[in-house]
Amino acid sequence: MQSRWLAAILAVLAVRRAAAAQTAAELIAEARATARRGDGDRADSLLKQAEQGLPGEALMLRGNIAMHVRKDVEGGMALFRASIAADATRWDSHYFLGRALADQERWDEATASFAASAELDPTKLTVLLDLGKAQAASGGFEDAAATMLRAAALDVHSSQALLLLAQTAVQRRELEAALRAYEDVTELLPWHAQPFLQLASLRVSL
């Protein structure tokens, strides 16, 4: 008898949680539309109501409002951290926290946040590019190069990651790595003169 009561209670709670999540999703959709219309205060109010059902997403979006509408960096970072505490599996919360840290040149912390984001979703090109930049800024060129090559592998027809690698290598005086990267870029962009000029300059330097 007791087990049947327990099962019934759990079933009721599951239904309530599902209803709360549905309501929260509707509030979040309305908040997104409201934010696009420029009403950050109203959007934030809606997201506060959504926190009970979908706390990770609601807190992450509130963090973006704090950062980009209210220009409250510390408040935004606190909300991103609260989002991660509520749902550590959200790649976007880790990523936005990393962006905020990178803007302050807190490179080691930014690297950790971007790395967590990339681990949760390794298919995001922007995350890998920002991770590579943060690693390079922290002084870890080898890690940065490996990350940028991972980014390049996501889209073998794009030169964005390889150009970033080449430019970073030049800045770090890693000329052989820069040479290899520019060689790859010229294969992808044979009609662009600038990579060929950079490549020629590097060959003279070496």
Phi, psi of 93 (to 5 degrees): -65, -45
Place of tokens 């209803």: 19
pLDDT at 12 over 50: no
- Give the tens place of pLDDT for each residue, 62-94: 999 999 999 999 999 999 999 999 999 999 999
CATH 1.25.40.10 maps onto the chain at 1-88, 115-206
Taking the C-alpha atoms of residue 115 and residue 93, their distance in angstroms, rounded to an integer, is 12
Query: Which residues neighbour 98 within 8 Å (Cβ) at sequence distance 6 or greater?
Result: 110, 111, 112, 113, 114, 117, 130, 131, 134
Question: How many Å is the Cα radius of gyration of the chain?
Answer: 23
Residue 19 pLDDT greater than 50, yes or no? no
Rounded mean pLDDT of the chain? 89
Q: What is the pLDDT of residues 38-64, one digit of tens each?
A: 999 999 999 999 998 899 999 999 999
Q: Tell me 70's DSSP state.
A: S
Q: Which fold has domain 1-88?
A: 1.25.40
pLDDT for the residue 205 = 81
What are the start-end ranges of the H helices in 37-124? 40-50, 55-68, 73-86, 91-103, 107-120
pLDDT of residue 15: 39
Q: What is the mean pLDDT of residues 133-162?
A: 94
10 falls in which pLDDT band (50, 70, 90)?
very low
Mean pLDDT, range 14-34, rounded to an integer = 73
CATH class (in words) of the domain with range 115-206: mainly alpha
Quick check: 141 and 149 in contact, CB under 8 A? no
Find the distance separating the first CA and the last CA of the chain, reported in whole Å: 82
Q: Which of 186, 178, 184 is nearest to 204 (CA)?
A: 178
| pLDDT given at position 4 | 64
